[in-house]
Chain A
């Protein structure tokens, strides 16, 4: 079973890009290794701003992301980029084409770009996305751009792992704002209308203004600014960067960034406990067959599954055991 070896960790902390890439592969392919990786990374996390870039397919997310990465790097940041593409539910394979738009980033030491297949993830992200972002932050990146799958309708999971959500649309989306997935406009902190070089931008902006005026948009935050850009002609990019950086500063100054981090850690703890309890139960020899029998009985003769659940839980003996008991305690 692959694990985090001291050599790999040394190389990683020395800034070896190969080691960073291998650590990402480790958390992506071997969830069992995540606790150990996290123990090591923990003291390096908490500062980066994570920016989710979401929106329908083909609106120019990758093209825009490349420019944002360069712009942020020019403003003194180190930038991690994650681009998620859909895995085929039939073959498990994935075609990841975002790099085609990111040629200019290759070989730039201030930027680290990684493509992820969505695998069994459902909300436009791969399940490993937050951990990959952690690895990139641990590697020294203080701005992490996360491009979601351009699913027919942009999805919402990105909210859970991004501090700022940028929704990217294009002029033709103007006609179909009603058809945008409920919630996606509300999720946005910034709405970009890209491809402003083609006709229809004004109409799209109007339609969006109208929709926002109708009370779409977030209740707990200001109405998201509408920003036209042309990634192809590098227009509107500086303004967008200004807005992102202004929001980042507000998040940090107001304590909201810390608050979101707190919520994320609480979620991680909750799901860690869930996973641990399930694994304890599943490790029992009769776990699967027990469930199968109970389900069969209940389906046939009726009755509530809860007594069985109660019994099962009572049998779980709680201790978190790790393959290698780590003794370096790293309290937060």
Chain B
């Protein structure tokens, strides 16, 4: 039974800009892969994202950051996750991320990030593998 436990993901889009098409595409792909996805919508703050992830007891937080502001949003959310005691969950998402930024973020504990051109199945597989490896006891 425990092996069959559902993966729960909170998906949101931080920042004031733009639309949430990217976030929705990813959310749909995760749902189709059998995950339970709590969709937060647009204009989230790092605080609102982390507070929601705590209440939902999410395994994974997925952010869509296509505005180029990934170097502010991802570190801020990661920092809050650690501060609020959920630093053991996966922070991943999408953006247009140069290799050296990905390296900096990885060093902070952020997971792999995916580009708008990547097939959504890549993030699906990445999350499934990560959760398999890091499954919490309860």
Contacts and interface: CB of A to CB of B under 8 A. Distances in A.
Contact of B5 (A29, A32, A87, A88): A29
Contacts of A32: 1
A30 B35 contact: no
Interface string B52-63: 101111000000
Given A18-B84, A24-B57, A106-B52, A99 B40 contact: yes
B10 to A, nearest CB: 9
A226 to B, nearest CB: 32
B47 A99 contact: no
Contacts of A30: 1-2, 138
Interface in A152-172: none
B19 interface: no
Interface in B21-80: 27-28, 30-41, 43, 47-48, 51-52, 54-57
A99 B38 contact: yes
Greatest chain A CB density within 10 A among B6, B36, B48 is at: B36
B137 A2 contact: yes
A91 B33 contact: yes
Contacts of B52: 99, 106, 113
Contacts of A92: 6, 34
A76 interface: no
B86 interface: yes
A25 interface: yes
B40 A100 contact: yes
Interface residues of A, number: 36
Interface string B120-138: 0000000000000000011
B115 to A, nearest CB: 23
Nearest to A95: B31
B35 A114 contact: no
B36 to A, nearest CB: 5
Given A8-B138, A88-B31, A1 B2 contact: yes
Contacts of B117: none
Greatest chain B CB density within 10 A among A2, A26, A88, A106 is at: A106
A96 B38 CA distance: 5
Contacts of A113: 52, 55
Contacts of A1: 2
B98 interface: no
B5 to A, nearest CB: 5
A150 to B, nearest CB: 15
A115 B55 CA distance: 9
Contact of A94 (B31, B47, B138): B31
B28 A99 contact: no
Contact of A99 (B2, B5, B33, B39): B39
B59 to A, nearest CB: 10
B37 to A, nearest CB: 6
A117 B48 contact: no
Given A18-B54, A21-B57, 20 more contacts: A2-B2, A2-B138, A5-B138, A17-B54, A21-B56, A22-B57, A24-B57, A92-B34, A93-B31, A93-B34, A94-B31, A96-B39, A100-B39, A100-B40, A103-B43, A106-B48, A113-B52, A113-B55, A114-B55, A119-B6
Interface of B: 1-2, 5-6, 8, 27-28, 30-41, 43, 47-48, 51-52, 54-57, 84-86, 137-138
29 contacts: A2-B2, A18-B54, A18-B57, A22-B57, A24-B57, A25-B8, A30-B1, A30-B138, A87-B36, A88-B31, A91-B31, A91-B34, A93-B35, A94-B31, A95-B27, A96-B37, A96-B38, A96-B39, A97-B39, A99-B41, A100-B39, A100-B40, A103-B41, A103-B43, A107-B48, A107-B51, A113-B52, A114-B56, A115-B38
6 tightest A-B contacts by CB? A2-B138, A93-B31, A100-B41, A21-B57, A92-B34, A106-B48
